[in-house]
């Protein structure tokens, strides 16, 4: 995740579908921790500061937010929350990805087992150096990603200045030129590959990142 909705589905910042995790602690939580967290409200609503838990997204989790956060969308394979209409965070249980293309005809395939490598070798995305990360007791990799070096005749299903990344239930993860996204890939969250992304327009990233990182650091994987 990549915003006014940042990722198209994840969040779209200024026309950027972003989606949009990093170090965290907490470990797998039990029923007691889950009971303390409030369920996320349905629809687009402001969130009061505090701890929330997912209702639909799997694997289930809880996290804590401060001021300025609001709900965006939640489904079994994706969860998005926004920050003051300038950025946001997306959680995804990735099932389908878009093959890189230079036409407006989408090519959707099963998500690869090695998502990190898929991003590193994507012809239209630039990733920085990988770093180890732990979120809620689960280890993974993290890196920043931007859209870069689109050909002059470039065209994709989302348009001429963006890259379709994930196919999801309530929207697609789309990254736009001018956006910056921090992406975390956890390959074994209760046997599922989960991505966490946060981002915004590159000009707003330094404002969004510290607030988003606080949410990531509070993540606990809950349920059985």
- In percent, how much of the chain has pLDDT > 70? 83
* Owning domain of residue 156: 11-221
Is 193 contained in some domain?
yes
Is 74 contained in some domain?
yes
Query: pLDDT, tens digit, for every residue of 151-180?
Result: 888 888 888 999 999 998 877 889 999 999
Query: pLDDT, tens digit, for every residue of 5-54?
Result: 344 334 444 444 444 333 333 444 444 444 588 999 888 899 999 999 99
Here the CATH number for the domain that contains residue 110 is: 3.40.1000.10
d(CA 142, CA 88): 17
User: Which residues sit opposite 50 in a β-bridge?
Assistant: 65
In degrees, rounded to 5, the angle at the alpha carbon of residue 117 between the alpha carbons of residues 111 and 121 is 100
What integer pLDDT is reported at residue 8 of this predicted model? 34
Query: pLDDT, tens digit, for every residue of 201-211?
Result: 999 999 999 99
Calculate the CA dihedral of residues 62, 180, 69, 219 and round it to 10 degrees: 10
What integer pLDDT is reported at residue 20 of this predicted model? 39
What integer pLDDT is reported at residue 19 of this predicted model? 40
With a CB cutoff of 8 Å and minimum separation 6, the contacts of 110 are: 95, 96, 97
Is 3 contained in some domain?
no
Is 32 contained in some domain?
yes
What integer pLDDT is reported at residue 106 of this predicted model? 80
User: Which residues sit opposite 138 in a β-bridge?
Assistant: 135
Is pTM beyond 0.85? Reply is no
Query: pLDDT, tens digit, for every residue of 98-148?
Result: 998 777 788 899 999 999 999 999 999 999 999 999 999 999 999 999 998
User: Which residues sit opposite 21 in a β-bridge?
Assistant: none
What integer pLDDT is reported at residue 7 of this predicted model? 40
DSSP class per residue in the chain: ----SBSSSSEEETTEEE---------B--HHHHHHSEEPPSSS-BPPSEEEE-SS-SS-EEEEE-TTEEEEEE-SSEEEEEETTTEEEEEEE--EEEPP-SSSS--EEEPPS-HHHHHHT-TTEEE---EEEEETTEEEEEEEEEE----TT--BTTBSSEEEEEE-SS-EEEEETTEEEEEEEEEEETTEEEEEEEEEEGGGHHHHHHHHHHHHHT-EE---
Is 118 contained in some domain?
yes
Is 21 contained in some domain?
yes
Q: Please indicate whether residue 4 or residue 169 has the higher confidence score (pLDDT).
A: 169
Q: What mean pLDDT, rounded, does the chain reach?
A: 84
Is 109 contained in some domain?
yes
Is 5 contained in some domain?
no
How many CB atoms within 10 Å of residue 58? 16
Q: How many domains does the chain have?
A: 1
d(CA 165, CA 167): 7
What integer pLDDT is reported at residue 77 of this predicted model? 93
What integer pLDDT is reported at residue 35 of this predicted model? 55
């Amino acid at each position: 995740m990549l915003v006014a909705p940042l990722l198209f589905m994840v969040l779209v910042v200024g026309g950027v579908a972003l989606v949009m995790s990093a170090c965290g602690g907490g470990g797998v939580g039990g029923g007691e921790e889950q009971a303390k967290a409030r369920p996320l409200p349905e629809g687009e609503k402001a969130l009061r500061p505090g701890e929330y838990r997912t209702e639909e997204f799997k694997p289930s989790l809880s996290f804590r937010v401060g001021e300025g956060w609001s709900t965006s969308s939640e489904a079994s394979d994706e969860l998005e929350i926004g920050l003051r209409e300038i950025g946001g965070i997306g959680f995804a249980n990735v099932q389908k990805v878009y093959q890189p293309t230079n036409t407006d005809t989408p090519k959707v395939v099963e998500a690869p087992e090695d998502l990190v490598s898929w991003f590193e070798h994507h012809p239209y995305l630039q990733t920085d150096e990988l770093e180890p990360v732990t979120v809620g007791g689960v280890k993974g990799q993290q890196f920043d990603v931007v859209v870069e070096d689109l050909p002059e005749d470039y065209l994709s299903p989302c348009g001429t200045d963006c890259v379709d990344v994930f196919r999801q239930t309530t929207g697609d993860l789309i990254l736009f030129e001018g956006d910056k996204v921090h992406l975390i890939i956890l390959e074994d969250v209760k046997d599922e590959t989960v991505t966490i992304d946060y981002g915004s327009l590159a000009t707003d990233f330094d404002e969004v990142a510290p607030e988003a990182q606080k949410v990531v650091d509070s993540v606990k994987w809950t349920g059985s």
